[in-house]
Amino acid sequence: MTAVVTRPGRVPAVPSARVVGPAVTRLALRQVRRGALVVVVLVAGMSAMVAATYASTVGDALDAAALAALAENPAIRTLFGQPVALDDAGGFTVWRTGTALSVLVGTWGLLAATRITRGEEDAGRWDLVAAGRLPVTAIVARHVAVLTGAVLMAGVAAGAALLAVGTSPHGAVLHGVGLALLGVCFVAAGALTAQLFATRAPASGAATALLGGALLLRMVGEGVDGLGWLRWLSPFGMVALSQPYAANRVLPLVVLAAVDAILLVAAVSAARPRDLGGGWLTTSAGRPPRLGLLGSVSGFAARRLARPFGGWAAGVAAYYLLIGVLTVSMTDFLADNARFADLAAQAGFAGLGSVEGYVAAMVTLLAIPAGVFAAVRSATLVADEAAGRLTLLHAQPVTRARFLVSELVVTLGGTTALLVAAGLAIWAGAATVDAPLGVLAALAGALNVLPVALLSLGAATFAVGWSPRAVAFVGALPAAGGFLLQVVADSTGAPAWVGRLSPFAHLAPVPDAAPDWTAGALMVVIAGALAVLGLVGYQRRDLQG
């Protein structure tokens, strides 16, 4: 009998941290590159477009008296910030686009931070990486570094665009730096909440609430003379205090940079002592079971929607309450300054000189948060599916069609309720200043944008079935993308058919005019067709995992 001796195979070497670290960085870059590119293009494009068209849209119409009237109006300062250097193309661009671009960069930064940190950890995709030689703090730090670089690129793009059209270098650089630092602030805030909370949804909600609170502090600080110091408590306020193309102050941005550094260190440090998959803020394991709304698929969908809806409704209602309070101040100002009313009409906001026209213009913007809300809720469904939280539910005798239809109906109800909350809020705000606005007129104006929100819901459902990784982006296109298309078309004098591609071009100014029932019905039909196609795709594809 012959004994056979086998040599043990070579044990594969464990990759070192030097090898794994760059791989993690490349992974983070791959996860955010598309969104970052979209943000950079939008920031640069909007900045260059407004500055380049300044002479043709504004020209020398803003004389000293008009500028003084604009600066003294509290409603203008509250909504758009303190108007400075409007006689300069760069200053006007910062005033007109600064807040919108800041919200865009900040929102993308915080949502991307929670998605690629806490979201990936929830889905279990960090388990093997964290089991190696790279600690969780290093993984978090590399993801945050990639996002920080992305928002810095957005700031560079804004400054470069303004330089390219010939504005002052000092103002362009200061505006770009301010936009970048604000983005870094909310990237750090999103990363920090991702360490504090054990799941992605509350982390994103807390970071979004911070952004909303910061924006509110800036609005109050700008609008109320005695509370100007509140701007130092908000990153939006500090960016506004820098006053590019006017005072060109550096100190507020130095303070903001220090705040960013503290938040970044806190976000990375908070990952050190916690368990993988856990968070600093966890619920007690000994609480009694809560079984409400668990008896049916639709009840379960409503239960999942309730808490996020509360946050969205509170934020939207607070903003439109403020819009209602400013009704009389804004309409009186525009009625006395026809040139500004003309400029607003060129930007897509006609009829602001009357209460109903002002309300119609303001509630048109409501389609954006309503559409994004519907898209985000659909994206949450796919995220829960990928994380395995719906596996047992799909194993039950419940068809996919019934499950997705239940989610659709509940999300539709939540979106409609969000519009109703905004309508009631703007009516309540207008009532406090004795503006002639009835509750039915306010509700009609708010619900007039429901077809656009339904387009977003239909597009998101289509993506659920055919492109699950792009649900939020595809769902937001009809609302956010449609509004951006309309603004660009109106501001650049594009051919009429380009503007007609936006669903906003087919919304009547309700309550200033009667609804366009034909256009609304057509949008609802398109939304329904997209939802049906999405349902077909959802039944055909494999579950995400």
11 within a domain of the structure (yes/no): no
Q: Which of 279, 312, 343 is the last residue of a domain?
A: 279
287 within a domain of the structure (yes/no): no
Quote the DSSP letter at residue 372. H
The verdict on 274 and 298 lying in the same domain is no
* pLDDT given at position 287: 60
Residue 393: both structure tokens together:
């539910």
Verdict on whether the full-model pTM lies above 0.85: no
Domain containing residue 45: 19-279
63 within a domain of the structure (yes/no): yes
Asked whether the beta carbons of 126 and 12 are under 8 A apart, the reply is no
Alpha-carbon distance of 113 to 103, in angstroms, equals 15
- Tens of pLDDT along 483-524? 888 877 766 667 888 888 899 999 998 998 899 999 999 999
Asked whether the beta carbons of 304 and 407 are under 8 A apart, the reply is no
7 within a domain of the structure (yes/no): no
The tally of domains found in the chain comes to 2
Quote the DSSP letter at residue 468. G
Asked whether the beta carbons of 115 and 147 are under 8 A apart, the reply is no
Query: Nearest Cα to 39, choosing from 185, 179, 154, 211?
Result: 154
The verdict on 273 and 372 lying in the same domain is no
510 within a domain of the structure (yes/no): yes
Q: Which of 229, 252, 279 is the last residue of a domain?
A: 279
Q: Which of 224, 246, 279 is the last residue of a domain?
A: 279
The verdict on 391 and 423 lying in the same domain is yes
Q: What residues pair up with 281 in beta bridges, in sequence order?
A: 197
Asked whether the beta carbons of 378 and 475 are under 8 A apart, the reply is yes
The verdict on 323 and 224 lying in the same domain is no
25 within a domain of the structure (yes/no): yes
* pLDDT given at position 68: 59
H or E element: which one contains 168? none
10 within a domain of the structure (yes/no): no
Cα dihedral 217→221→224→228 (10° resolution): 150
Taking only the tens of pLDDT, the chain with its 545 residues reads 455 555 555 545 555 556 577 888 998 999 999 889 999 999 999 899 888 888 776 655 555 556 656 666 677 777 777 888 888 889 989 988 888 899 999 999 998 999 899 888 887 788 777 777 788 899 999 999 999 999 999 999 999 999 999 999 999 999 999 999 999 999 999 999 999 988 887 888 889 889 989 998 998 888 777 888 999 999 999 999 999 999 999 999 999 999 999 999 999 999 887 777 777 776 555 566 676 667 788 888 888 888 889 888 988 998 899 889 888 888 877 777 666 666 666 555 666 668 888 888 889 989 999 999 999 889 888 878 877 777 777 777 878 888 899 999 999 999 999 999 999 999 999 999 899 999 999 999 999 999 999 999 999 999 999 998 888 889 989 998 888 888 777 666 678 888 888 999 999 989 988 999 999 999 999 999 999 999 999 988 887 64
The verdict on 199 and 228 lying in the same domain is yes
Alpha-carbon distance of 271 to 269, in angstroms, equals 5
Tell the residue number behind the tokens 């596996």, with chain if given.
Answer: 391
H or E element: which one contains 346? helix 338-346
Alpha-carbon distance of 292 to 303, in angstroms, equals 8
The verdict on 364 and 441 lying in the same domain is yes
CA atoms within 13 A on the CB side of 358: 26
Query: Nearest Cα to 473, choosing from 102, 135, 26, 36?
Result: 36
The verdict on 266 and 382 lying in the same domain is no
The verdict on 122 and 229 lying in the same domain is yes
The verdict on 523 and 456 lying in the same domain is yes
Asked whether the beta carbons of 221 and 230 are under 8 A apart, the reply is yes
Tell the residue number behind the tokens 């309720």, with chain if given.
Answer: 417
The verdict on 240 and 338 lying in the same domain is no
* pLDDT given at position 472: 85
435 within a domain of the structure (yes/no): yes
The verdict on 256 and 340 lying in the same domain is no
The verdict on 378 and 331 lying in the same domain is yes
* pLDDT given at position 178: 97
Asked whether the beta carbons of 406 and 390 are under 8 A apart, the reply is no
